Amino acid sequence: MKPDLIYFLILAFIILQFIFSEVIDYLNIKALDEHLPDEFKGVFDREKYKKSQDYLKVNTRFSGINSLVSISITVAFLALKGPGWLDGIVSSWADLWVWRSLSFVGVLYAFSTLTSIPFSAYGTFVIEERFGFNKTTVKTFIMDFLKSLGLTIVIGVPVYLALIWFFRTYSTNGWLLAWCALTLFSLVMMYVAPVWIMPLFNKFTPLDEGSELNVAIKAMCKKADFTLKGIYTMDGSKRSAKSNAFFTGFGKNKKIALFDTLIEKHTTEELVAVLAHEIGHYKKKHIFQSMALSFMTSALMLFLLGLFLKSRVVFTAFGIENPSVYTGLLLFGLVYAPISFVIGIFQSILSRKNEFEADRFAAEITGTPGVMIDALKKLSADNLSNLTPHPLKVFLEYSHPPVLQRIEALREK
């Protein structure tokens, strides 16, 4: 395939994907129904239901503007053969591949960060504030950014350089060695993140041993034959009024974290049902399934990257005279995007199936499907969720089934 054709196809895919995404969002807005579903009468009042729809409309418009700016910059950079131009500049700065690699990705990362910060700030301090969710202070916002930047430097940079080193050093099986190293790193991070990284951003407080909630959760865990190292509350209210709970850790380091906002808004029975759902993912092997799929897709990606680096045609298309692994990583991301899009659809389908299974597990282990339904309703109301998403939006992007489908499935239990 000729470089000019590849150049055109990549730019066309980026633009068409943006247009397609905007069409899906338009259909999603059009699918809004002004009539409150009967299932939610008594949970949403007329004012709150309208507020949830306004929240979706505002976020959709904002996301569209954000995407338009990002896509415009990306297309302009590629159309002007920016990768070749930037590579020429960083090559004049340093001779060693390490410094050229860091300079290349550093410039791109800095520019991307500078353009994204205003949108992030607006989303947090204007949109989330307008709808009553924001609890983030300017200090917290800045500290979150600095901590994330620090983690990128301390963790991301070594991983990035190691990846380049594998492909530079081992031309034939570099992808396989890189995959083994990346898989091992991922497994280590499953143990390290809950202990060292997550506490950098949030405070985790052990749930009072003698509390009604702690006793109820432990009784449910015993019934489910699930060993738990700890039950914690997390200061989610530090940033948002939204509610959530999650399962973290691996092996004997399994922990459950409840947002303090969740505890404030739900009964003990509802909280136990929510946690039973999270445990259901583990008991139904969804965690292992997700890990296996992640490792398989990363193996495919790295294998294709190895093949890609041996071809010069895409490098030539974007003005790169001397192909390198670090420029290849950028260009490969463009070529791999359609594959990633298709894989993402199948992952979403599987994820939605797993959510139904976890709901059924929660209903079985608690013996009260109605409590899980009540919890889902409250979560939807508290987070101003969209109750009537367009089916195509769900099919392409939703990792969780729409709440009305989840409730219907639980009622059939």
Residues with a known catalytic role: 278, 359
- What is the Cα–Cα distance from 376 to 289, expressed in whole angstroms? 25
- What is the Cα–Cα distance from 31 to 285, expressed in whole angstroms? 35
- What is the Cα–Cα distance from 281 to 285, expressed in whole angstroms? 6
Q: Where are the alpha helices (DSSP H) in 31-96?
A: 46-79, 82-93
Are 337 and 13 within 8 A, CB to CB?
A: yes
**Side-chain-side CA neighbours of residue 28 (13 Å):** 28
Encoded tokens for 397: 């992007």
Are 369 and 413 within 8 A, CB to CB?
A: yes
Encoded tokens for 112: 């991307």
Pairing of strands 245-248, 255-259: antiparallel
**Side-chain-side CA neighbours of residue 67 (13 Å):** 16
- DSSP output for 331-368: HHHHHHHHHHHHHHHHHHHHHHHHHHHHHHHHHHHHS-
Encoded tokens for 196: 């060292």
Encoded tokens for 178: 């890189």
Are 410 and 363 within 8 A, CB to CB?
A: yes
The candidate with the shortest Cα–Cα distance to 403, out of 384, 383, 382, 388, is 388
Quick one: CA dihedral 74, 85, 117, 156, positive or negative?
positive
The candidate with the shortest Cα–Cα distance to 152, out of 197, 116, 101, is 197
- What is the Cα–Cα distance from 180 to 189, expressed in whole angstroms? 14
For residues 14-27, b (16+ Cβ closer than 10 Å) or e, as one string? eeeebeebeeebee
The candidate with the shortest Cα–Cα distance to 376, out of 399, 354, 403, is 403
- What is the Cα–Cα distance from 87 to 94, expressed in whole angstroms? 11
